[in-house]
């Protein structure tokens, strides 16, 4: 499946792994990984999937995550139930990234696209990393999907870009 576009159904069988937030921000403690059936979960929610090349990398940390943290209330006002960050990093690294950014609840989840299974299925990878992209899924239907084609840019996948499409 090459890419996704508005009007598509979100694909079946998409699963990620994550460590559920506990409300604690201690980076030295970590829970057990959980499988997350995105295809099922997204049938009942409005979700923004944000793919980044890597946790803790400069653009992803300094621009991407901060844009969503700063705009979380605006996204919720537009009906977004959840933001899901995905990357090729494992679920423990992704959980630590969420904690490092002060996320204590499930308003923003940090998940592993294990083996890049999902990103590869839509053709949005570069080497062993995801492209930088955003997908909005509203109760199982894609309403926005785009990749950033300019290096170090979040012009199509940052929170402001997504908000302009909601």
Active site residue 30: no
In the set 60, 75, 108, 142, the catalytic residue is 60
Instruction: Tell me the C-alpha distance between 49 and 4, whole Å.
Output: 12
Instruction: Tell me the C-alpha distance between 35 and 93, whole Å.
Output: 15
| Helix or strand holding residue 15 (H, E) | strand 15-18
Kindly list the catalytic residues.
60
């Amino acid at each position: 499946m090459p890419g996704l576009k508005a009007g598509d159904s979100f694909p079946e069988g998409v699963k990620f792994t994550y460590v559920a937030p506990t409300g604690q921000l201690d980076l030295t403690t970590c829970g057990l990984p959980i499988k997350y059936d995105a295809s099922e979960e997204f049938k009942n929610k409005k979700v923004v999937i944000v793919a980044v090349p890597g946790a803790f990398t400069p653009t992803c940390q300094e621009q991407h995550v901060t844009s969503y943290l700063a705009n979380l209330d605006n996204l919720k006002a537009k009906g977004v139930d959840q933001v899901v960050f995905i990357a090729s990093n494992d679920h423990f690294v992704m959980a630590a990234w969420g904690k490092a950014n002060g996320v204590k609840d499930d308003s923003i989840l940090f998940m592993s696209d294990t083996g890049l299974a999902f990103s590869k299925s839509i053709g949005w990878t570069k080497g062993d990393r995801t492209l930088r992209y955003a997908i909005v899924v509203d109760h199982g239907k894609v309403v926005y999907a785009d990749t950033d084609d300019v290096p170090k840019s979040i012009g199509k996948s940052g929170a402001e870009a997504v908000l302009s499409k909601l």
